[in-house]
Amino acid sequence: MITGKNYIGNEMSAIGSVRFKTMDPKMNSENEWTCFEATTKEIHSSVDKAWKAFKVFRNTSQVQRSTFLNAIADEIEALGDVLLDTYCKESGLPKGRAIGERGRTIFQLRTFADLLESEDWKLASHDAAIPDRQPTPKLDLKKTVIPLGPVAVFGSSNFPLAYSTAGGDTASALAAGCPVVVKSHPMHAGTGELIASAVIRAAKRTKMPDGVFSNLNSKGIEVGIELVNHPKIKAVGFTGSIKAGRALFDIANARPEPIPVFAEMGSINPVVITQNALISNGPKWAEAYAHSIVLGAGQFCTNPGLILAIDSEALSKFTDQLAEKIATLDPMCMLHPKIKAAYSNLKLELTAQNGVEVISNEVHTEKNYADQTIATVSGTQFLLNPKLHAEVFGPFSIVVKCRDQQQLLQIIGGLEGQLTGTILAEKEDSETLTELVDELQQRVGRLIYNGVPTGVEVCPSMNHGGPYPASTDARFTAVGTDSIRRWVRLVAYQNFPFHLIPNKL
């Protein structure tokens, strides 16, 4: 049952007067449950509990934390259809997507549990002393990592499970030994509460300290601001818009003790198609990219929002095929009326820019359903207008008709940081792609060859991040086992007795 209350560690609380309801975007009506926004007192209580829990949790063994993560996965699975139904009511996404995302969430938790079976992820090292080295003796040095402290995790709008309450940020932080305080996303607070209840049951079952996990509701931005400003919060995980991510980054850096904010934010994910690919496989790529653009109503951070190619008859055929194919695909409901409104407004703003031509705009009368849209613009106009670089969060993509290869490279070099960059090419292009690859990899975190950017595999080799504003720190990934490195710091022990080193090397 959804109570709408906050989890302050193991205790449920609802002492505030600010209440709100989540929306069912398909029905365009409020859901039945009422949620209570966390008060300042509840925020402070959750962080104080997290800080107290940290003193115990940071010294738990990796076996204990692995058991905890597996228990969370078990408890989420045990929620059954209640979780799936709530997910659908709060997101407008289909049940198949809910099942898939639940599976990914469980997989992430078990992946980090498996990671903790070994100490290898710590990259510990030992330089033994050489006391008789001349002219100066060498000291004994051991190096490892330790957890940062309580982490504030912000749930994302577009992934109510995999990037939210017990998603990748939470799983990796708990694996590292950091307690987590979640600022639940207001669009899926009911889903968040159900997941939070699973985490708390797992914590109790595995005897984790009270405060290792808390879940706070919020209607607006105030809870998040207070949380990031709290001196006992030592890091932040965020997935969302550039505006919100940058605001949190600035708040965290203005603190007396600045803390890292690992924010994964906006991206238009440029796709470059060679002339040979257009001629040989234009229809194939038009169909693949129509599906990629529309997938999940375009509400993915890896949605291909920018397609680049040299202007030609083959490109004109491709754009016509893309427009025709995307018109045949069923529309999808967007996550919330506010997200649909933002999509419509930004799309209108971009398509009204000089030189932009709309070649497909499927208008749907259903409330909150997305109108998938393809537009084109010349490379010259794109270079003149930075507004065309904006991410349109939804099923929208703009095809840029470049004058020549030099202009194409100039456009890539002028782009902001991106999560992904894709090259669609043929074998005969291989000798001509070196400069393109070199330019593209300076702007993106993941390079794709002959594929689509949508879909992010959870595995050690994945990188989900990129130069700003794709993320606030391009050195780290938000997906995969290496994402645990966001929540730890290096410590060296010089001439230290082995028995005094916490969590022995």
Distance of CA 212 to the CA centre of its chain: 22
pLDDT in tens, 408-434: 999 999 999 999 999 999 999 998 999
Residue 308 has pLDDT above 80, yes or no: yes
Share of the chain above pLDDT 70, in %: 99
CA dist 195 → 48, 73, 96, 399, 449 (Å): 22, 10, 18, 40, 36
The partner residues of 20 in beta bridges, in order of sequence, read: 35
pLDDT the model gives residue 48: 98
Q: pLDDT averaged over the chain?
A: 96
pLDDT in tens, 345-395: 999 999 999 999 999 887 777 889 999 999 999 999 999 999 999 999 999
Secondary structure of residue 348 in the 3-state scheme: helix
Residue pair 50/170 in contact (Cβ under 8 Å)? The answer is no
Say which of 35, 301, 333, 402 is annotated catalytic.
301
In terms of Cα–Cα distance, which of 438, 407, 453 is closest to 267?
Answer: 453
DSSP string, 264-281: E-----EEEE-HHHHHHH
Confidence of residue 152 (pLDDT cuts 50, 70, 90): very high
Amino acid, res. 159: F
Q: Report how far residue 18's alpha carbon sits from residue 367's, in angstroms, rounded to the nearest whole number.
A: 28
Strands (E), 21-112: 23-24, 29-30, 35-36
pLDDT the model gives residue 504: 64
pLDDT the model gives residue 266: 86
Share of the chain above pLDDT 90, in %: 95
CB count, 10 Å around CB of 494? 11
Say which of 226, 264, 362, 391 is annotated catalytic.
264
pLDDT in tens, 453-490: 998 999 999 999 999 999 999 999 999 999 999 999 99
pLDDT the model gives residue 498: 84
The model scores a pTM over 0.85:
yes
pLDDT in tens, 184-226: 999 999 999 999 999 999 999 999 999 999 999 999 999 999 9
CA dist 218 → 20, 196, 215, 224, 304 (Å): 9, 15, 10, 8, 31
Residues 22, 155, 462, 113: what is their CA dihedral angle, to the nearest 10 degrees?
Answer: -110
What contacts 372, CB < 8 A, 6 or more positions away?
A: 293, 294, 298, 326, 327, 329, 331, 360, 362, 395, 396
pLDDT the model gives residue 434: 96
pLDDT the model gives residue 362: 74
Mean pLDDT of 430-446: 96
Q: Report how far residue 293's alpha carbon sits from residue 202's, in angstroms, rounded to the nearest whole number.
A: 38
CB count, 10 Å around CB of 175? 28
Active site residue 301: yes
Tokens 């710091």 sit on residue: 489
- Burial of residue 246 (number of CB atoms within 10 Å: 0-12, 13-18, 19+): middle
Q: Report how far residue 231's alpha carbon sits from residue 331's, in angstroms, rounded to the nearest whole number.
A: 46
Q: Report how far residue 47's alpha carbon sits from residue 278's, in angstroms, rounded to the nearest whole number.
A: 55
Q: Report how far residue 169's alpha carbon sits from residue 479's, in angstroms, rounded to the nearest whole number.
A: 8
Secondary structure of residue 163 in the 3-state scheme: coil
207 backbone φψ class: left, alpha, beta (φ>0; ψ -120 to 50): left
Confidence of residue 505 (pLDDT cuts 50, 70, 90): low
- Burial of residue 199 (number of CB atoms within 10 Å: 0-12, 13-18, 19+): buried
56-60 CB contacts, 8 Å cutoff, 24+ apart: 56/209, 57/177, 57/178, 57/179, 57/208, 57/209, 57/212, 58/146, 58/147, 58/177, 58/178, 58/502, 58/503, 59/177, 59/502, 59/503, 60/177, 60/208
Active site residue 264: yes
> Which structure tokens are listed for 47?
């962080």
pLDDT in tens, 2-60: 999 999 999 999 999 999 999 999 999 999 999 999 999 999 999 999 999 999 999 99
